[in-house]
């Protein structure tokens, strides 16, 4: 190879091929995917995050939670994601339409969080999450709440109790981690946003049109590029619990 021009054209073609073949083709297929309108109750799915939860997504992003946590459930054959109870079904492309920034993650030093909201103790979700963030080493039945997870105390404020009772926002802590007498631990707005986000992490709607899209390739016909099998064999379940 002596000719610089041919080298350049080849180098350029490689990049174009790779960009068009992987990124652009994917964009063509799913770049304009709309929300799914439920034929029964006419709800649009996935439903967007609330404003506070969306702020919490930004906190999740800036704290780099995705360094140790994934947000994706793989199909049954790929690992034990479903058996571990991290989700009832594999994640679909459409589930992520509500995520302004998508962090599916590449490391599972911590558990998957895609459906965290479904695993929280019912009735005490926020309380549990605040305790988890402030004192992950506090004991629950002899075991730390989350082994190996760092505490996020900088998301909380320790302040003197004003008046004769603690603020309604003050978090409940076991005696090992409680604030000194006369003080209370209160979540900052960032902690509140993060908890709102974590509480809304759940893919509750099962899209009938979506199932084939990223299912394992049983019939290898250029990999599911075609429209997924329609026909609504199973009626969509209602959104939410």
Partner 1 sequence: MNSTEQNARAEQREIDASVKWPVLVFLGSGLLWLLLGGVFQLAATIQLHTPTFLADCAWFTHGRLAPAAQNALVYGWGMNAAFAFGLWLMARLSATTLRHGGWLFVAAKFWNLGITLGIGGILAGYSTSFELLEMPRYVGLLLLVAYAIIGVWMVTTFSIRNTENVYASQWYLFGAAFWFPWLYSIAQMMLIRTPVRGVLQAVVNAWYLQGLYGLWFASIALAAIYYFLPKLLGKPIHNYYLAPLAFWWFVVATALAGGSRLIGAPVPVWIPTFGIVASMMLALPLIIFCLNFLGTLAGRYGAVGGSLSLRFMVLSIAGFLLSSALGLLLSLRGFAAIAQFTLLAGLRDWLMFYACFSTAVFGAAYFFLPRVTGKQWRSTALIQAHFGATALGIVLMIVCLGAAGWQQGHLLNDPAVKFAEITRGLAGWHTFTSAVLGVLLIGHVAFLINFIWIACPINSQGTAAAQIAPPPALGLAAKEGHA
Of residues 26 and 40, the one with the C-beta less far from partner 1: 26
Q: Among 61, 48, 55, which Cα is nearest to 189's?
A: 55
Question: Among 39, 174, 189, 216, which residue interacts with partner 1 (rule: CB under 8 A)?
Answer: 216
Question: CB of 144: closest distance to partner 1 in angstroms?
Answer: 7
Question: CB of 164: closest distance to partner 1 in angstroms?
Answer: 30
What is the distance between the alpha carbons of residues 87 and 95, in angstroms, rounded to a whole number? 13
Of residues 24 and 40, the one with the C-beta less far from partner 1: 24
Dihedral angle sign, alpha carbons of residues 124, 47, 212, 105: negative
Dihedral angle sign, alpha carbons of residues 136, 52, 156, 101: positive
x-or-dash pattern for partner 1, window 61-100, by CB under 8 A?
xxxxxxxx-x-xxxx-xxxx--xxx----xxxxxxxx-xx
Question: Which helix (H) or strand (E) segment is 131 a member of?
Answer: helix 125-134
202 near partner 1, judged by CB under 8 A: no
What is the distance between the alpha carbons of residues 36 and 157, in angstroms, rounded to a whole number? 41
Of residues 88 and 100, the one with the C-beta less far from partner 1: 100
Question: Which helix (H) or strand (E) segment is 187 a member of?
Answer: strand 183-187
Of residues 50 and 102, the one with the C-beta less far from partner 1: 102
12 near partner 1, judged by CB under 8 A: yes
Residues 115-154, interacting with partner 1 (CB under 8 A): 136-137, 143-144, 146-154
The structure tokens 């610089």 sit at 4
Q: How many CA atoms lie within 13 A of 222 on its CB side?
A: 3
Residues 18-57, interacting with partner 1 (CB under 8 A): 18-19, 21-23, 26-27, 29-31, 33
What is the distance between the alpha carbons of residues 51 and 61, in angstroms, rounded to a whole number? 16
Question: Among 105, 166, 187, 208, which residue interacts with partner 1 (rule: CB under 8 A)?
Answer: 105
241 near partner 1, judged by CB under 8 A: no
Question: Among 111, 125, 237, 239, which residue interacts with partner 1 (rule: CB under 8 A)?
Answer: 111
213 near partner 1, judged by CB under 8 A: yes
224 near partner 1, judged by CB under 8 A: yes
Which tokens belong to 238?
């209602």
């Amino acid at each position: 190879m002596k000719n610089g021009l041919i080298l350049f054209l080849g180098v350029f073609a490689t990049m174009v091929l790779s960009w068009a073949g992987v990124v652009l083709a994917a964009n063509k297929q799913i770049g304009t995917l709309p929300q799914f309108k439920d034929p029964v109750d006419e709800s649009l799915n996935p439903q967007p995050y609330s404003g506070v939860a969306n702020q919490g997504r930004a906190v999740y992003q800036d704290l780099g939670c995705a360094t140790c946590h994934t947000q994706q459930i793989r199909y049954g054959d790929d690992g034990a994601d479903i058996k571990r109870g991290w989700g009832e079904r594999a994640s679909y492309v459409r589930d992520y339409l509500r995520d302004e920034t998508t962090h599916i993650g590449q490391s599972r030093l911590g558990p998957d969080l895609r459906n965290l909201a479904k695993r929280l103790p019912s009735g005490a979700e926020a309380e549990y999450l605040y305790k988890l963030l402030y004192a992950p080493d506090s004991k629950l039945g002899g075991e730390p709440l989350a082994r190996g997870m760092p505490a996020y105390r900088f998301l909380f404020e320790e302040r003197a109790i004003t008046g004769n009772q603690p603020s309604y926002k003050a978090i409940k802590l076991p005696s090992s981690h409680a604030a000194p007498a006369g003080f209370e631990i209160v979540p900052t707005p960032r902690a509140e946003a993060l908890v709102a986000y974590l509480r809304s992490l759940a893919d509750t709607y099962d899209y009938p049109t979506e199932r084939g899209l990223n299912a394992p390739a049983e019939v290898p016909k250029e990999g599911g590029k075609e429209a997924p099998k329609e026909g609504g064999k199973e009626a969509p379940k209602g959104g939410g619990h």
